[in-house]
Structure 1
Amino acid sequence: MENTTSKEVVWHAHGVSREDRSRQKSQKPCLLWFTGLSGAGKSTVANALDCALFEQGKHTFLLDGDNVRHGLNKDLGFSDADRVENIRRIGEASKLFSDAGLIVLSAFISPFISDRQMVRSLFTAGEFIEIFVSTPIDVCEQRDPKGLYKKARAGKIKYFTGIDSDYEEPVNPDIILDTSKHSVDECVEELIELLKARKII
C-alpha cells in the first residue's frame, strides 16, 4: 500500500512514556505472535494464556484473526495482497497496545515470513516473540472446526492457506508448540515459563 503520510504529519511525543506504563504495570510489554495453519490451535492456546495471565494480575490484550476481520479489517479479503495488509494493520495495532504497557497476544495464520518480519521490525529486540503452532495439516484438517478445509477442498474457498495458498514456516521461532502432542494446559505452562525466563513477567 502506498505511503501517503505527508511531511506535515509529525509524531507527537506524549508525557507518559512506554517505560512509565511498563513500570506502573510491573511487566515488560511485548507481542506474542501465534502463527500456524487454520485449526492448529493458535486462538485456543492464546485465549488460555490470556486467561492465565489475567488471573496472575497481568495486563494483556488478545487480538484474534476472525474478531479483527469483523471491524478493523472487515474491508479486506483473502488474496495475498489483502493478507499482507491485514498483517500490517495488526502489527501497527499491536505496537500501539504494547506502547500502552500491555502484553499483546496476536493469533493469526500470517503465512508469509516477510510479513512476520515486518511486524517484528516494529519492536525492539526481545519484544516480538514468535510462537509457531506447528500442528500437522492432517490434524488441522481432521479438526476443521469451521468446515473451511472441506470448503477449500471443494473449491468453494480460494486462497486457503495449506490448500491453494502457501504457508511459510518460521525459520527460527522463539518456541514451537504442537497441539496434537501437547494439551492446551501444557502449552500454556511452556509459554509462561518462557515469559518468566525472558523477564516479561
Structure 2
Amino acid sequence: DQVVLVAATAPRRAHRALARSAAPDFLEVWVRTPREICEQRDVKGLYARAHAGDAPTLPGVGGDYEPPLAPEVVADGGLDDGAIEALLRSLVGRAKRA
C-alpha cells in the first residue's frame, strides 16, 4: 500500500467534500495560518497582486475561505510540532490498518 499526500488549496467546503468522497481514506490537514503570516511568506506575490486588484478572488483577501468544520489534524501556522506528530501518527495508523 502507498500513502499519497496532496497539497491543495480548496477554499470551499464543497470542494474538500468532493475530494473526500473521491479518496477512500481521506485525511484532512488544516494548516491554520493568519492571513498576515501568509502574506509574509508569499514568495509568488499573490497577495500583492490581490491588493492591487489583479487577483480579486484570492481567498482571504477578496475571495471567501470556508474553514474546515472537522479536519483530522490542525497545524497552527504550519509550525506546530504537535500537529506534525499527530499527522504522522494518523498516517502510520492508517498504513497499519490497510
With the shorter chain as reference, the TM-score category is 0.7 to 0.9
Hey, what does 1:41 align to over in structure 2?
none
Give me the whole-angstrom Cα distance separating, in 1, the residues matched to 2:58 and 2:94. 37
Q: Which structure 1 segments of 5+ residues have no match?
A: 1-21, 23-101
Q: Which structure 2 segments of 5+ residues have no match?
A: none
1:199 equivalent in alignment to 2:94: yes
1:111 to 8, 11, 24: 11
Cα deviation 1:13-46 (Å, max 9, x = unaligned): xxxxxxxxx3xxxxxxxxxxxxxxxxxxxxxxxx
Cα deviation 1:150-194 (Å, max 9, x = unaligned): 111011223211111111110000010013653xxx354332122
TM-score by length of 2: 0.83
Q: Which amino acid in 2 is paired with 1:199?
A: R
Which protein has greater RCO, CA pairs closer than 8 Å, 6+ apart?
A: 2
Hey, what does 1:172 align to over in structure 2?
70
Give me the CA root mean square deviation: 1.8
Identity of aligned residues (%): 36
Alpha-carbon spacing, 1:181–1:188, altered in 2? closer, same or farther (3 Å): closer
Q: Which amino acid in 1 is paired with 2:64?
A: D
Q: Describe how 1:110-189 pairs up with structure 2 within 5 A.
A: 110-124=10-24, 127-179=25-77, 181-182=79-80, 186=81, 187-189=83-85
How many residues align? The count is 95
- Tell me which structure has the larger Cα radius of gyration: 1
1:122 Cα deviation after fit: 2.1
Give me the whole-angstrom Cα distance separating, in 1, the residues matched to 2:38 and 2:14. 24
